[in-house]
Amino acid sequence: MRTRFHEHLEQLADQLRAMCVRNREAIAMATDALLGADLELAERTIDYCAETVAMRDGAEHAAVTLLALEAPVAGELRRVVTALQLVDDLTRMSTLTEHIADTARRRHPADAVPEPVRNLVTHMGETAVDLADAAVDVLTTADPGDAADLDARDDTMDDLHRDLLAAILAEGWDNGTAAAVDVTLLGRYYERFADHAVEVGRRTLYMTTGRRDDALQLRER
């Protein structure tokens, strides 16, 4: 009975990891579509993200089934409850990625990202991939070091986000209001994607250790 419980818990963990791996793929695709003004890739990314979002129900169902059939307590209960919360973070990462791809789609054939901020958006895209990668690592290893690493990378994202807003607000911005609106929202999507990746790390750590590390306190943005 308990062996089966652990098998099911492992399957649930695999589902979460699979969603996170897909988010890493998708954010790379979305950034490429955005910076390359690539309509076909943007549409493929949107479909791909929708498939990831559709994995939510299966993962939620698996978690609720575990609760119903096995009535876990203590550490095992914590793992299942945290898995339920992780499903939401991972789904949200997909939706935010879809928004980025959709911006590329709506602006096509024009570039949504004007020249002066292309470098910044490129770095935000790379940082987002790094964060999703690190979240996959934490989901696999539950290593506190990996989770701390996630936090450090999120600081990079915050710096880039600040620079991005500063660039839009700088004197020399002559790319118009429409581009300012697009880039403002894009910045928000990347930043929120990063926040959820960090949350995945924090929750995973809590799931396995039961401790909320003070250095990794939950931050809401």
Binding positions for a second copy, rule: CB under 8 A: 53, 63-64, 67-68, 71, 73-74, 77-78, 81, 84-85, 88, 91-92, 95, 165, 168-169, 173, 177-178, 180-181, 184-185, 188, 220-221
To a second copy, the closest distance from the beta carbon of 103 in angstroms equals 13
Distance CA 90, CA 39 (A): 25
Q: Among residues 31 and 91, whose Cβ is nearest to a second copy?
A: 91
To a second copy, the closest distance from the beta carbon of 105 in angstroms equals 16
Taking every pair of Cα atoms in the chain, the longest distance, rounded to a whole number of angstroms, is 67
Q: Among residues 104 and 179, whose Cβ is nearest to a second copy?
A: 179
To a second copy, the closest distance from the beta carbon of 207 in angstroms equals 12
To a second copy, the closest distance from the beta carbon of 156 in angstroms equals 21
Q: Among residues 44 and 188, whose Cβ is nearest to a second copy?
A: 188
To a second copy, the closest distance from the beta carbon of 17 in angstroms equals 21
Preceding peptide of 116 cis, ω within 30°: no
| The Cα angle at residue 189 between residues 15 and 128, in degrees rounded to 5 | 60
Q: Among residues 215 and 220, whose Cβ is nearest to a second copy?
A: 220
Closest CA to 189 of 110, 116, 125: 125
Distance CA 15, CA 55 (A): 8
The CA R_g of the chain, rounded to the nearest whole Å, is 19
Q: Among residues 92 and 105, whose Cβ is nearest to a second copy?
A: 92
Number of C-beta neighbours around residue 7 at 10 A: 10
Asked if residues 27 and 100 have their Cβ atoms less than 8 Å apart, the reply is: yes
To a second copy, the closest distance from the beta carbon of 22 in angstroms equals 15
Q: Among residues 121 and 146, whose Cβ is nearest to a second copy?
A: 121
To a second copy, the closest distance from the beta carbon of 145 in angstroms equals 26
Q: Among residues 35 and 165, whose Cβ is nearest to a second copy?
A: 165
Asked if residues 63 and 191 have their Cβ atoms less than 8 Å apart, the reply is: no
Asked if residues 97 and 49 have their Cβ atoms less than 8 Å apart, the reply is: yes
Calculate the alpha carbon distances from 50 to 2, 101, 204 in Å: 34, 12, 24
